[in-house]
Amino acid sequence: MQKISTVKVLAMLVAVVAPLIAYNEASAANLATAYVKLDRLRATTTTGGTVCARPTTVATEASVQVTFPAGFTLNTTAANWTTTTTNLPSGTSAWPGIGTATAVAGQVATFPSTDLTVGTTYCFNFDGVATLTNATAGNDKVGTITTRDSVPATIDNASFALSIVSDDQIVVTAVVPPIFSFALSGNTDAFTGNLSPSAVTSTSGRTATVATNANNGWVTWVKSANAGLNSAVTGASIATAGTLNDTPTDLSGTTGYALDVDVTTDSATGTGVVSQGAAYGAEYNGVGANSGGTLSSTFQAIASSTGTTDGDVLTLTERARVTAVQAAANDYTDTLTVIAAGRF
């Protein structure tokens, strides 16, 4: 029997195996999509990230390797490289079978995987604590994503590039200035009928609106030019009723001129609560349609608030009742000055 030399045996093995190796290398294809999105791009900063890829080769995946660019530092404790599949990029699917890394060595982190479907873009997130530290600043930092079967042999792979910058954050600053607005609904307010000794007559009323971001709220004051209604033609006057004692005067039982202030709107937006407490408007917190507060030629508080508001509204209504001997005239008048201030 003719003996076959060792050299011939080796040659025969090469002839059989070499095509298989060549076929395996040729079967690996580029991923249709491959990218790594880092949570931070700041140089030398610890970061997590998201890995995405779309396979092109029909095969059964068993793992995926991410090779990070030179200069990045990988923590070699594989257990630190935990993964999630929440909050993934729009239009992508959770990477099937993904889990905590099985190995980390050099620039390569290896993660488990199960079978991927060609044409679907899969993604997963890796944790940002004790995993990856960015390289120094620079562009075109190239890495690779590789899917592998159980051999393990490469199925698909592709390169990706990253840019690392000196700082990846923008600090936004803003200023909200003190805000205060005050408005009266009108500058005249006539009585709705002739003054009478038999009933209390009122004006139509005017509103005062306050909006402010003053933390301690606002105060509104009023003063009367005459502390009464004066007639230039006759020289007669209808004096203000009552006294300043934080108690409104009921004009149905007396005569005179008064101011009633009602809280029409205590805005629900803001922290403030409108009140007419002692020294801050109790005098003008009339009850019903016949009472009001004593007017003064010095400023008197008519209401206040404890905090911010986007629009508190007060309604100011003048009321009067005269005696039967009050001089007749059509020019009785008074001027009220209404002011307000925010308590910042």
Q: Report the DSSP beta bridge partners of residue 210.
A: 182, 312
pLDDT at residue 116, rounded to an integer? 98
Given a contact cutoff of 8 angstroms between Cβ atoms, the answer to whether 303 and 209 are in contact is no
pLDDT classification of 2: cutoffs 50, 70, 90? very low
pLDDT digits (tens, 9 = 90+) for 217-242: 999 999 999 999 999 999 999 999 99
Question: How would you label 184-212 residue by residue, b for 16+ Cβ within 10 Å and e otherwise?
Answer: eeeeebeeeeebeeeebbbbebbebbbbb
Cα of 92 vs its chain's centroid, Å: 28
Average pLDDT for residues 82-98, to the nearest whole number? 98
pLDDT of 83 higher than 90: yes
pLDDT of 99 higher than 60: yes
pLDDT of 331 higher than 70: yes
How deeply is 82 buried, as exposed, middle or buried, from its count of CB atoms within 10 A (0-12, 13-18, 19+)?
middle
Sheet harboring 300-305: ordered strands across?
274-275, 300-305, 218-224, 336-342
pLDDT classification of 19: cutoffs 50, 70, 90? very low
Q: Could you tell me the pTM of the whole model?
A: 0.72
pLDDT at residue 28, rounded to an integer? 62
pLDDT digits (tens, 9 = 90+) for 278-329: 999 999 999 999 999 999 999 999 999 999 999 999 999 999 999 999 999 9
pLDDT at residue 29, rounded to an integer? 83
pLDDT at residue 20, rounded to an integer? 34
The structural domains of the chain, ordered by start, are: 29-164 (2.60.40), 180-342 (2.60.40)
pLDDT digits (tens, 9 = 90+) for 107-118: 999 999 999 999
Q: Find the radius of gyration of the CA atoms of the chain.
A: 43
Cα–Cα distance, 232 to 200 (Å, whole number): 23
Q: How many CA atoms lie within 13 A of 73 on its CB side?
A: 11
pLDDT of 243 higher than 70: yes
pLDDT at residue 176, rounded to an integer? 97
Bond before 152 cis per omega within 30 degrees:
yes
